[in-house]
Structure formats: C-alpha cells, structure tokens
C-alpha cells in the first residue's frame, strides 16, 4: 500500500487516541464522546486488518489497548 496512506492512517488513529485520552469523563456527554472515539478507532483498526495493512501501522497503535477507552 502507498506509504502516504499508511502515514495518514497512523496519524489519524494516533490523533483520535490522544483526543479520547484527553476527555475528562466529568459528565455523560464526555462519556458518550469517548464511546464514539472507541467505535471510530475500532472501525479503523478492523478495516486495516481487512485491507491487509494492520501490520504496517505504528507499534504504539498496534499495542494500544482500545478497551481502555470504555
């Protein structure tokens, strides 16, 4: 797969993870937003497996415990 696309995917997933981690969970809205981040990141990771590019993702993304968001 094209290197710029892998870079785009790595950067996007990393930014989504950081945004999710920065939520405070002080209210139900933040908790809902965190769940949406979880669903979005999960979809991107699952699609990367389906399209055969998961192994090309950064190590920190592959080792991230997505369940920690919920």
**What residue segments make up the domains of the chain, in order of their start?**
3-69
Neighbours of 69 (CB within 10 A): 19
> Comparing C-alpha atoms, which of 65, 18, 60 is closest to residue 42?
65
The answer, yes or no, to whether residue 25 has pLDDT greater than 80, is no
- Closest Cα partner for 41 from 23, 17, 24, 18? 17
pTM confidence score: 0.88
pLDDT 10s digits, 34-52:
999 999 999 999 999 999 9
Task: Decide: 39 and 15 in contact? Cβ < 8 Å.
Answer: no
């Amino acid at each position: 797969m094209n290197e710029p696309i892998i870079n785009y995917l790595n950067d996007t997933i990393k930014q989504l993870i950081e945004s999710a981690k920065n939520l405070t969970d002080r209210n139900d809205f933040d908790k809902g937003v965190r769940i949406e981040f979880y669903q979005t990141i999960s979809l991107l990771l699952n699609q990367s497996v389906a399209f055969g590019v998961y192994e090309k993702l950064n190590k920190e993304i592959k080792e991230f415990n997505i369940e920690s968001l919920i």
